[in-house]
């Protein structure tokens, strides 16, 4: 049985700017009939706006060095027990080559902040673009405008920078030496430079409420991102949040579904974190409206060192395992670039 109030909230968030109360109603659903209804609606919206397919992106975690101090992340600079590595450009190129040879048309380069110089990253991007006809997404954290400019000029296509939270006080509580305004400024710079911009949040970070998540979804709806990553918070034992409970899988799935319905177009991964809980929830993520899988192409010897949270499942995937995921979710695997689906994307000003 689906309550009329749930049906009404769903149809309102589909057709107009989402009201906070409606988002909260839908995020809070726990009755199995109602959550199935919500997740099925999200899949229908995804299939209409993004087609019935899963984009695949090859993830390479290029460095675990970080000068930042995010309270939730195992790579924060105060974690003296974290192992730190930085892949050489040749090593990254080798991983990129492997991904390209398997048909991947996107690599995502992710790292902590300040693992390598601006110049060496620019060189790396240029080398990748020269050798392989693939899209390059960056996920390297907050940097000055000049860095983003250098990397765009070198050929980078996309940039992922999760907002983490739109609540200023909550944001500061998670990032003692950072402010929400800097994060927003970085996202504005990325857009101005013509990057396909991605954002997102974790679900279940201590101090976050349903109402915080609802406001974050309003932010996504207002600002339209090409990509939105949503995953559960997983406590890392060497962080200040070690003793806190992890994010709830159902609330994470509801957040994916509600975000899909409210924002329609973004590429949304069934995140690695969703696949790293007591079991692999990525399939449920796809069944709640997600449409990206990111196989891990970080060389084996570095995988365990990129420990943003414990037991991270860095699955490489095979064409068969991807086909299997696709079939089970009734979606085709799309090995293409899968660029932004936002209607206004083509009108973004490219940089000189």
Interface characters, 69-108, with ligand SAH (x: CB under 6 A):
---xx-----------------------------------
For residues 39 and 175, which CB has a smaller minimum distance to ligand SAH in the complex? 175
What minimum distance in Å lies between the beta carbon of 7 and ligand SAH?
32
What minimum distance in Å lies between the beta carbon of 72 and ligand SAH?
4
For residues 216 and 334, which CB has a smaller minimum distance to ligand SAH in the complex? 216
What minimum distance in Å lies between the beta carbon of 1 and ligand SAH?
34
Per CB under 6 A, 197 contacts ligand SAH? no
Per CB under 6 A, 112 contacts ligand SAH? yes
> Which residue in the set 44, 52, 65, 113 belongs to the binding site for ligand SAH (CB under 6 A)?
113
What minimum distance in Å lies between the beta carbon of 104 and ligand SAH?
19
Interface characters, 135-164, with ligand SAH (x: CB under 6 A):
----x-x-------------------xx-x
What minimum distance in Å lies between the beta carbon of 292 and ligand SAH?
14
Measure the N-to-C terminal CA separation of the chain; round to a whole number of Å: 56
What minimum distance in Å lies between the beta carbon of 276 and ligand SAH?
8
Neighbours of 320 (CB within 10 A): 8
Interface characters, 258-297, with ligand SAH (x: CB under 6 A):
---------------x------------------------
> Which residue in the set 122, 202, 213, 274 belongs to the binding site for ligand SAH (CB under 6 A)?
202
What is the SS3 string spanning the chain?
Answer: CCCHHHHHHHHHHHHCCCCHHHHHHHHCCCCHHHHHHHHHHHHHHHHHHHCCEEEECEEEEEECCCCCCCCCCCCCCCCCCCCCCECCHHHHHHHHHHHHHCCCCEEEEEECCCCCCHHHHHHHHHHHHHHCCCEEEEECCCCCHHHHHHHHHCCCCEEECCCCCCCHHHHHHHCCCCCHHHHHHHHHHHHHCCCEEEEEEEECCCCCCHHHHHHHHHHHHHHCCCEEEEEECCCCCCCCCCCCCCCCHHHHHHHHHHHHHHHCCCECEECCCHHHCCCCCHHHHHCCCCCEECCECCCHHHHCCCCCCCCCCCCCCCHHHHHHHHHHCCCEEECCCCCCCCCCHHHCCCCC
Beta bridge pairs of residue 296:
59
Number of residues that bind ligand SAH (CB under 6 A): 18
What minimum distance in Å lies between the beta carbon of 24 and ligand SAH?
22
Per CB under 6 A, 110 contacts ligand SAH? yes
Applying CB under 6 A, the span of 22-30, 91-99, 227-235, 317-325 interacting with ligand SAH comes to 227-235
> Which residue in the set 85, 148, 195, 233 belongs to the binding site for ligand SAH (CB under 6 A)?
233
Interface with ligand SAH in residues 307-336 (CB under 6 A): 308-309
The CA-CA-CA angle for residues 137, 139, 144, to 5°, reads: 105
**Residue 283 contacts residue 325 (beta carbons within 8 Å):** yes
Applying CB under 6 A, the span of 15-23, 127-135, 229-237, 327-335 interacting with ligand SAH comes to 229-237
What dihedral do alpha carbons 257, 260, 266, 270 form, nearest 10°? Answer: 10
Interface characters, 12-51, with ligand SAH (x: CB under 6 A):
----------------------------------------
Positive/negative CA dihedral, 269, 271, 275, 277:
negative
Residues that bind ligand SAH (CB under 6 A): 72-73, 110, 112-113, 139, 141, 161-162, 164, 202, 231, 233-234, 236, 273, 308-309
């Amino acid at each position: 049985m689906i309550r009329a109030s749930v049906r009404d909230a769903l149809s309102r968030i589909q057709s107009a700017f989402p009201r906070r109360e409606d988002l909260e109603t839908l995020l809070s659903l726990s009755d199995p009939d109602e959550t199935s209804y919500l997740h099925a609606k999200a899949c229908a919206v995804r299939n209409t706006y993004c087609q019935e397919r899963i984009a695949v992106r090859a993830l390479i975690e290029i460095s675990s060095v970080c000068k930042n101090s995010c309270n939730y992340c195992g790579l924060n600079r105060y974690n003296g027990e974290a192992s730190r590595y930085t892949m050489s450009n040749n090593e990254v190129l080798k991983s990129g080559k492997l991904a390209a040879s398997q048909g991947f048309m996107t690599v995502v380069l992710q790292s902590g902040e300040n693992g390598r110089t601006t110049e060496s990253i620019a060189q790396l991007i240029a080398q990748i673009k020269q050798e392989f006809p693939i899209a390059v997404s960056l996920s390297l954290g907050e940097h000055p405008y000049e860095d983003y400019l250098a990397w765009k000029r070198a050929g980078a296509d996309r940039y992922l920078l999760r907002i983490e939270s739109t609540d200023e006080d909550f944001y500061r509580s998670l990032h003692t030496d950072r402010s929400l305004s800097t994060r927003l400024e970085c996202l504005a710079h990325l857009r101005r430079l013509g990057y396909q911009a991605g954002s997102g949040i974790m679900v279940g970070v201590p101090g976050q409420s349903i109402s915080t998540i609802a406001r974050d979804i309003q932010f996504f709806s207002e600002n339209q991102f090409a990509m939105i990553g949503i995953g559960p918070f997983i406590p890392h034992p060497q962080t200040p949040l070690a003793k806190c409970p992890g994010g709830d899988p159902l609330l994470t799935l509801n957040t994916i579904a509600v975000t899909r319905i409210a924002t329609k177009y973004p590429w949304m991964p069934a995140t690695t974190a969703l696949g790293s809980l007591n079991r692999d929830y990525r399939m449920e993520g796809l069944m709640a409206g997600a449409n990206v899988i990111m196989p891990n192409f970080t060389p084996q010897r570095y995988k365990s060192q990129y420990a943003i949270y414990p037991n991270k499942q860095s699955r490489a995937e095979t064409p068969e395992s991807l086909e299997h995921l696709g079939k089970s979710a009734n979606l085709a695997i799309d090995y293409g670039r899968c660029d932004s689906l936002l209607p206004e994307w083509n009108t973004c000003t490219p940089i000189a």
